[in-house]
Structure 1
Amino acid sequence: MTHIVWDWNGTLFHDTDAVVGATNEIFRPYGVGPFDLEGFREVYTRPIWVAYERIIGRPLAEGEWEQLDHGFHLHYHELMLACQLAEGATASLRAWGDSGRTQSLLSMWGHDRLVPKVGEFGLDHHFARVDGLRAASGGPKAEHMVLHLKALDLDPGQVVVIGDSVDDAHAAQHVGARAILYTGGMTRRSELERVGVPVVDSLQQALNLADTGSAESRRSIH
């Protein structure tokens, strides 16, 4: 029976406006920008400090990453208050749960902020487990995926990861799970497609692929 591990930021939670807005704020003193969503997608990559170096055109100085990261989160946590769930998020979670299958949430956002935000939207009851980042710096998502699946005692072969970044796909591949990537986040479709997993433009499409697990899931959906 298939279990879905959902990503949060850029997947279930449509926060692109907050990400772009917070980024523009921290780079205002540099005289760079402002970016719109498509402009930021052109420079966005993980790890994020590489994107920042692209933006300013040089390596970050000692202590500069910490300063920018702190400033970003200050602005993000204010701007995200205006953000809502992605289209189809609640319906997708409900449909999967109603089918008798399980799902969980793994995010690289801070655990102490993630849990109340999920509860604020009334989604917590959909998830067998909710894990956010419990350390100051998370690095790649892969090792967090290992711990998440171990805590749930899941066979990775029965798991599909739905997220909006290349990092989500790499985390799935690391544990031997399937991945479906959604274009609602910060990463360009062309970059997502290079990973070689299905790429979709809606959460409903992602759910359909998770449901079938057929040959259809190996091609990109437009």
Structure 2
Amino acid sequence: MTHIVWDWNGTLFHDSDAVVSATNEIFRPYGLAPIDLDGFRSVYCRPIWVAYERMIGRALEEGEWELLDRGFHDHYHRLMEACLLAEGAVASLAAWGDSGRSQSLLSMWQHERLVPKIAEFGIDHHFTRVDGLRPSGRADHKADHMEAHVRALDLDPAKVVVIGDSVDDGIAAQHVGARAILYTGGMTSRAELAALGFPVVDSLSDAMDLI
């Protein structure tokens, strides 16, 4: 492997507490009991509105998804300010760069928020390219974004490994013909990650050891 495509939320950026807390905030008016990370993982799926329907036990009404989504991001963008990089993130990025190999970042988070955030952590120099979700982009599937990302970097997919925390990361890697290592630091359960057939790790340092 000569190139890593990193995911951001739940992988390099340890934001699970913010995600769970923001979710609890938007469902507070519904009278739902607060959930913890394991509880969230038990209902989490993509698209996220399906997970919301699981939580409230009914189909969302017209316009309800938009209100919940807007509310979630309002809370998340406030709560994430207390979040840090995942354990081992800085060391992993530095070690890979020091080996003379390349790495990039592909996220489904808003591009205009992603770029200053990685600069704030002082890790932007590690990446040959950073792509987040731009205003005109669709957030439904990561696979198409991965295809465009790999093409823009003129990479041989056979030499690429994707490191991410979700089923979408694994599917995106499969879509372009890359390998993947899936990390349990995000919202998806280990069992669901393992079902894709890719290696599953509990730390970023374990992912680097596998490579």
- Note the alpha carbon deviations across 1:96-125, whole angstroms, 9 max, x for none: 000000000000000000000000000000
Matches within 5 A, 1:114-193: 114-135=114-135, 137-193=138-194
SS for the counterpart of 1:160 is strand
CA distance in 2, matches of 1:110, 1:29: 27
Identity %: 75
Alignment partner, residue 104 of structure 1: 104
Please report the TM-score for the alignment, with normalisation by the length of structure 1.
Answer: 0.93
- Tell me what 2:206 maps to: 205
Runs of at least 5 residues in structure 2 that lack an aligned partner in the other structure: none
TM-score, normalised via structure 2 length? 0.98
Q: Who is 2:70 aligned against? A: 70
Q: Return the offset for 1:207.
A: 1.1
Match of 1:218?
none
What secondary structure, in the 3-state scheme, does the structure 1 residue paired with 2:188 have? coil
Distance in 2 between residues matched to 1:30 and 1:178, nearest whole Å:
41
Runs of 4+ more than 3 Å apart = none
Alignment match, 1:214: none
**Structure-1 separation of matches of 2:138 and 2:37:** 25
Deviates more, 1:53-62 or 1:93-102: 53-62
Shift of 1:137: 4.0
Deviations 1:7-29, CA, capped at 9 Å, x for gaps:
00000000000000000000011
Higher-RCO chain (CA-CA 8 Å, sequence separation at least 6): 2
Deviation readout 1:165-193 (Å, 9 max, x if unpaired):
00000000000000100001011111111
Report the aligned-residue RMSD. Answer: 0.9
User: 2:124 & 2:104 partners in 1: Cα distance?
Assistant: 9
